[in-house]
């Protein structure tokens, strides 16, 4: 994983949206890790989940993202570097 200069920590986020385009409604669920240290050692397995309506016939869009932080004097500051902090669509399920 490539991180911006000054990164000391990171957080992973996921989301899932069940979208009803015809009625202009949606169901959204998300999950995130705690802010984790960014170091050379491997990070333990990360398990995140976002649950929407079971057996839905509507499209479901899934995203995953990462946010980078810098710790200064015990405070966490998000690094606002758009080329590193990313959110990406990983799946679009249309039944």
Per-10-residue mean pLDDT for the chain, 95 residues long? 88 96 96 92 90 92 95 92 83 88
Number of domain units in the chain: 1
Q: What does the pLDDT read at residue 39? A: 86
pTM exceeding the 0.85 threshold for the entire prediction: no
Supply the range of the domain harboring residue 58: 9-93
38 within a domain of the structure (yes/no) = yes
73 within a domain of the structure (yes/no) = yes
4 within a domain of the structure (yes/no) = no
Q: Under 8 Å CB-to-CB from 23, ≥6 apart: which residues? A: none
Alpha-carbon gap, residue 44 to 36, rounded angstroms? 10
């Amino acid at each position: 994983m490539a991180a911006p200069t000054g990164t000391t920590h990171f957080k992973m986020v996921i989301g899932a949206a069940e979208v009803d385009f015809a009625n202009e409604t949606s169901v959204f669920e998300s999950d995130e890790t705690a802010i984790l240290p960014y170091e050379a050692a491997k990070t333990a397995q990360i398990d995140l989940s976002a649950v929407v309506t079971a057996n839905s016939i509507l499209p479901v869009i899934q995203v995953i993202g990462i946010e980078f932080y810098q710790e200064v004097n015990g405070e966490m500051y998000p690094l606002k570097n758009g080329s590193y902090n990313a959110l990406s669509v990983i799946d679009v399920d249309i039944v």
